[in-house]
A = this chain, B = another copy of it.
Amino acid sequence: MASILSISEIAFLIGDPARTNMLFCLQNSDMASAADLTRAAGVAPSTASEHLAKLTQAGLVSVSKMGRHRYFSLGSPQVAELLEGIDALAGKLAPDGPPEMRHDQAALHARTCGDHLAGHIGVAITQSLLASGHIRQRGKTLNLSHSGRMLFQELDVPLSPLNQSPRRFMSLCHDWSEDAFHLGGGLGGAFLETCLIRDWMRRPKGRAYVDITPKGRSILRKNFGIEAGTTIPD
């Protein structure tokens, strides 16, 4: 027996775009730092901190302090279930409503999940890497093959710092928008960072997705065989 107030409070917490982004990011990749979620939400760190405080206080997410990081995850399996339920309902109720397609299509096309690429592009890149053998999946472990190492070096993605980091080198996050997997972990983050530095992609101020520049489109085409959607015209 739950009170109306506590019920609406929960829904209220989920019902803010920034927090929704955080929660769904957590549903994919367990263990995200505050900084990851800040990026996912597309707000200032201070704002994200406020959101996370509210979410943790309500018990929707739980936090474990590790070093100077705070890693968040969903508070309980029931939270994940609830998110799934809302997602399912949203899919039924808003069957590709045209009004929000413009803005949101771009978001889904190359959205970001924490500090790495997700959405259509994120999944396509990952599939390309797997298909070409640059990444090999054996059971639960992932390996970057020699050819893959070459590829990332060629793209100027710095790999050496990643070996010293406590973070997992690679991981596959389930992508809720594509129902497939995208590349996460340190490598996923480093790759996106390189994309931004080299102006292959641009993150609109505080958004949870990136726009792909013409330069980026040619990179994606050449290295991954991907025809990226046009967001910034040539």
Where the two chains meet, the residues of A that have a C-beta atom closer than 8 Å to any C-beta of B are 1-17, 19-21, 24, 58-60, 75-76, 78-79, 81-82, 85-94, 97, 100, 103-104, 107-108, 176-179, 208
When the two chains form their complex, are residues B1 and A178 in contact, meaning their CB atoms are under 8 A apart? yes
User: Which chain B residues border A100 with CB–CB below 8 Å?
Assistant: 3, 5-6
User: Which chain B residues border A21 with CB–CB below 8 Å?
Assistant: 4
When the two chains form their complex, are residues A60 and B93 in contact, meaning their CB atoms are under 8 A apart? yes
When the two chains form their complex, are residues A86 and B7 in contact, meaning their CB atoms are under 8 A apart? yes
When the two chains form their complex, are residues B8 and A107 in contact, meaning their CB atoms are under 8 A apart? no
When the two chains form their complex, are residues A89 and B79 in contact, meaning their CB atoms are under 8 A apart? yes
A37 CA to B91 CA in the complex, in Å?
27
**Chain B CB within 10 Å — which of A11, A58, A75, A178 has the most?**
A11
> Which of B16, B82, B90, B178 contacts A3, CB < 8 Å?
B90
User: Which chain B residues border A24 with CB–CB below 8 Å?
Assistant: 4, 7
A20 CA to B4 CA in the complex, in Å?
7
When the two chains form their complex, are residues B94 and A3 in contact, meaning their CB atoms are under 8 A apart? yes
Q: Determine how close the nearest CB of chain B comes to the CB of A202; give it in whole angstroms.
A: 20
When the two chains form their complex, are residues A91 and B2 in contact, meaning their CB atoms are under 8 A apart? yes
Question: Would A90 and B2 be within 8 Å (CB), given that A11-B15, A16-B12 are in contact?
Answer: yes
When the two chains form their complex, are residues B78 and A92 in contact, meaning their CB atoms are under 8 A apart? yes
A179 CA to B10 CA in the complex, in Å?
21
User: Which chain B residues border A19 with CB–CB below 8 Å?
Assistant: 8
Question: Would A3 and B85 be within 8 Å (CB), given that A10-B93, A15-B12, A92-B76 are in contact?
Answer: no
Chain B residue nearest in CB terms to A97: B6
User: Which chain B residues border A12 with CB–CB below 8 Å?
Assistant: 11-12, 15-16
When the two chains form their complex, are residues B89 and A4 in contact, meaning their CB atoms are under 8 A apart? no
